[in-house]
Amino acid sequence: MSEHTIELFLLKCAVIESGLRDALEEHNPGARRRGGTFIDERMEPFIKQFELANRNNASKMSMYYEVFYMLENDIRRLIIDTMETAHGAGWWDTHVPQAVRDEVKKNRDREDQAAWTMRSNALIDYSTFGQLADIMRANWSDFAGMLRGVDSMNRVLHGLNMLRGTIAHCGVLADDEVDRLQMSIRDWFRVLEGPKA
């Protein structure tokens, strides 16, 4: 077999592989979702280089990330609104546990030292999901009238925090964990219904 024939064979294989990838992505709902609307076009050439199984898992997990993004930021907003109403603009310095403030300061300082664009001016945006629960527990008298109960809040947020680890650290949720996530989100909205009469 000549060198020219081998080169031609490899070139044809590359064209066929590229065509197959495009066809697979066309029939993959996750790939359509990535198609320019949600992923910056500048990233698309890089995304195509990742293994198809990884791209499919990323697409599947992106939905759960979105849910957690909304949940976590909704809880932050609940805390901000409640604490500002109860204690004024300086609530962070006067009503957040010292351990949480210390960790948040470390997180913010680490980001600042890296010379990256700061994600936020609000210190609460540097808190972890678990620390949000710590803030609510420490100020339960401010949340008691609007949330079901401290025990139910703790239980639901603890469960959600366990699931968050898999989502935030690029794991793949098993089917039963997807069911658990759905139940936990439902439970959170029950907690938001407030105390039972």
Domain locations in the chain as residue ranges: 1-49, 60-192
Residue 32 pLDDT exceeds 50: no
pTM as predicted: 0.76
pLDDT digits (tens, 9 = 90+) for 163-180: 998 898 989 999 999 999
pLDDT band at 31 (very low <50, low <70, confident <90, very high): very low
pLDDT digits (tens, 9 = 90+) for 3-24: 767 766 666 666 676 666 666 6
Q: What is the pLDDT of residue 49?
A: 87
Residue 110 pLDDT exceeds 60: yes
**52-87 and 3-26 are packed helices; what angle lies between their axes, rounded to 10 degrees?**
40
Q: Which two tokens stand for residue 49?
A: 């280089």
- Angle CA(171)–CA(44)–CA(125) in degrees, nearest 5? 50
Whether 127 contacts 135, CB under 8 Å = yes
Kind and range of the H or E run holding 89: none
Tell me how far apart the alpha carbons of residues 61 and 174 are, in angstroms, rounded to a whole number.
11
Q: What is the pLDDT of residue 42?
A: 81
Residue 101 pLDDT exceeds 90: yes
Tell me how far apart the alpha carbons of residues 83 and 90 are, in angstroms, rounded to a whole number.
9
Residue 36 pLDDT exceeds 50: no
33-50 mean pLDDT: 68
Q: Which two tokens stand for residue 17?
A: 């592989």
Residue 96 pLDDT exceeds 50: yes
Residue 150 pLDDT exceeds 70: yes
